[in-house]
């Protein structure tokens, strides 16, 4: 065909990808999908063709949603632009103006902001209750309560939620349940199997696992996920195909990463709990038969200079996030829990000495050495 240069430069991609038997799913980095004629286009609306426009659906984001649903033993899943947008569309799938949500106090700081500040503007009222006092929870249920929201392992003090108790209470009162399973991952627990209606993930953390993707996932039954999907489509909180592809790639090693990172975390927690300059170690005891997660929080005594501790960390990166393959630390008081009212910070024991460690894949003796020497260097000389 005698195309002009300008036409040729636009029409470069002439390969039929169906004939290339790529071993892994290719990246469908496309905004839209083409149709051969109007009947072909109509077939999308009749349910024959799967894809139209990437905000509405894309093979890579679908693969990610379906893969996590599969790991969580749930019928359906959807990928979103971030963990927070997954939480938002999940809540909006079950609650609207005039409704009320019960949430635990010790949630991720960003989730707290979303629930406390933004949902109010949608006319959704949220009460924050200490879910550790389960018997008091029922007293806070109102006529318009729709949803109970918690995390399977909370941040940064790593309380393990009693999911069975929560589900039983919610069912008794006809409420939906939604649980953030980011810290545990489906490797450790699968809240959908325990009766939770919606399970949400910041895939930014362990699912993708390599600190190079921001993404969220929501899984549940077909009907709720379809409702959430309409929110994603209409509010534009979809994930990019490339980020979905990266997350799927990362997830293939979830089991081996979690196995090693959990093991390292257990050894680090046991070692640091014997350290005289560590007043408290937060690490779950019976989160799951496969392990207790890869986050260890420690509270340094007043004899330590917290700035000195962070300065003395050698190769361990200081980052306001967690769950990569490299060991890192964060400082909840200045980052994830900065926005909380001081009174709640105190109630949650987010103290000046609190350090959250995200344990990585390195040799555990190198990890221990890095923390022991940073603690030593931070001890104030009398």
Ligand X SMILES: *Cc1c(COP(=O)(O)O)cnc(C)c1O
Which residues of this protein are in contact with ligand X, per CB under 6 A? 82-84, 108, 110-111, 151, 155, 180, 182-183, 202, 204-205, 214, 216
Q: Is the Cβ of residue 185 or residue 266 nearer to ligand X in the bound state?
A: 185
Which secondary structure element, helix H or strand E, spans residue 258, and what is its range?
Answer: helix 254-272
- Please state, in angstroms and rounded to a whole number, the distance separating the CA atoms of residues 261 and 295: 9
Contact 248, 25 (CB under 8 A): yes
Q: Is the Cβ of residue 52 or residue 339 nearer to ligand X in the bound state?
A: 339
- Please state, in angstroms and rounded to a whole number, the distance separating the CA atoms of residues 301 and 24: 50
CA atoms within 13 A on the CB side of 15: 5
Nearest to 186 by CA among 142, 232, 152: 152
**Minimum gap (Å) between residue 252 Cβ and ligand X:** 20
Q: Is the Cβ of residue 155 or residue 378 nearer to ligand X in the bound state?
A: 155
Q: Is the Cβ of residue 33 or residue 108 nearer to ligand X in the bound state?
A: 108
Instruction: Give the three-class secondary structure for 2.
Output: coil
Q: Is the Cβ of residue 60 or residue 204 nearer to ligand X in the bound state?
A: 204
**Minimum gap (Å) between residue 128 Cβ and ligand X:** 15
Which residue matches tokens 């890192």? 328
Q: Is the Cβ of residue 54 or residue 155 nearer to ligand X in the bound state?
A: 155
Instruction: Give the three-class secondary structure for 379.
Output: strand
**Minimum gap (Å) between residue 12 Cβ and ligand X:** 35
Q: Is the Cβ of residue 104 or residue 271 nearer to ligand X in the bound state?
A: 104
Residues sharing a CB contact under 8 Å with residue 230, sequence separation 6 or more, in sequence order = none
**Minimum gap (Å) between residue 214 Cβ and ligand X:** 5
**Minimum gap (Å) between residue 205 Cβ and ligand X:** 5
Q: Is the Cβ of residue 59 or residue 109 nearer to ligand X in the bound state?
A: 109
- Please state, in angstroms and rounded to a whole number, the distance separating the CA atoms of residues 67 and 173: 32
Per-residue three-class SS string for 297-344? EEEECCCECHHHHHHHCCCCEECCCCCCCCCEEECCCCCCCCCCCHHH
| Cα separation of the two ends of the chain | 85
Q: In what order do the strands lie in the sheet with 216-220?
A: 76-80, 216-220, 198-202, 176-180, 145-151, 100-104, 125-129
**Minimum gap (Å) between residue 127 Cβ and ligand X:** 19
**Minimum gap (Å) between residue 218 Cβ and ligand X:** 12
**Minimum gap (Å) between residue 88 Cβ and ligand X:** 10
Q: Is the Cβ of residue 83 or residue 324 nearer to ligand X in the bound state?
A: 83
**Among all residues, whose Cβ is closest to ligand X?**
83
- Please state, in angstroms and rounded to a whole number, the distance separating the CA atoms of residues 213 and 116: 26
- Please state, in angstroms and rounded to a whole number, the distance separating the CA atoms of residues 134 and 145: 16
**Minimum gap (Å) between residue 227 Cβ and ligand X:** 20
Contact 367, 264 (CB under 8 A): yes
């Amino acid at each position: 065909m005698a195309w002009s240069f300008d036409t040729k430069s636009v029409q470069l991609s002439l390969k039929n990808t169906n004939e290339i038997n790529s071993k892994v799913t290719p990246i469908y980095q496309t905004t839209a999908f083409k149709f051969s004629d109007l009947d072909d286009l109509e077939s999308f609306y009749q349910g024959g063709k799967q894809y139209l426009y990437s905000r509405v659906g894309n093979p890579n984001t679908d693969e990610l949603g379906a893969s996590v649903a599969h790991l969580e033993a749930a019928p359906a899943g959807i990928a979103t632009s971030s963990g927070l947008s997954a939480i938002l569309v999940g809540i909006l799938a079950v609650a609207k103006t005039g409704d009320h949500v019960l949430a635990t106090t010790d949630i991720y700081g960003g989730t707290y902001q979303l629930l406390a500040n933004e949902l109010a503007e949608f006319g959704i009222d949220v009460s924050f209750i200490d879910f550790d006092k389960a018997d008091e929870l029922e007293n806070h249920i109102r006529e318009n309560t729709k949803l109970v929201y918690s995390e399977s392992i909370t941040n940064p003090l790593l309380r393990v939620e009693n999911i069975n108790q929560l589900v039983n209470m919610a069912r008794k009162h006809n409420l939906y349940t939604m649980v953030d399973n980011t810290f545990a991952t489906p490797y450790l627990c699968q809240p959908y199997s325990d009766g939770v209606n919606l399970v949400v993930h910041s895939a930014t953390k362990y699912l993708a696992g390599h600190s190079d993707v921001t993404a969220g996932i929501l899984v549940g039954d077909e009907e709720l996920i379809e409702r959430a999907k309409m929110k994603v489509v209409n509010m534009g909180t979809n994930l990019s195909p490339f980020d979905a592809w990266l997350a799927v790639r990362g997830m293939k090693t979830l089991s081996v990463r979690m196995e090693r990172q959990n093991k390292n975390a257990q050894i680090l927690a046991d070692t640091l709990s014997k350290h005289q300059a560590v007043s408290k170690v937060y690490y779950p005891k019976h989160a799951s038969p496969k392990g207790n997660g890869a986050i260890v929080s420690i509270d340094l005594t007043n004899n330590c200079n917290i700035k000195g501790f962070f300065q003395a960390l050698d190769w361990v990166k200081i980052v306001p996030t967690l769950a990569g393959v490299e060991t890192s630390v964060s400082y909840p008081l200045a980052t994830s829990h900065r926005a909380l009212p001081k009174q709640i910070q105190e109630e949650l024991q987010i103290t000046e000495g609190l350090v959250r460690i995200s344990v990585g894949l390195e040799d555990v003796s190198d990890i221990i050495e890095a923390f022991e020497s940073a603690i030593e260097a931070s001890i104030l000389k009398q």
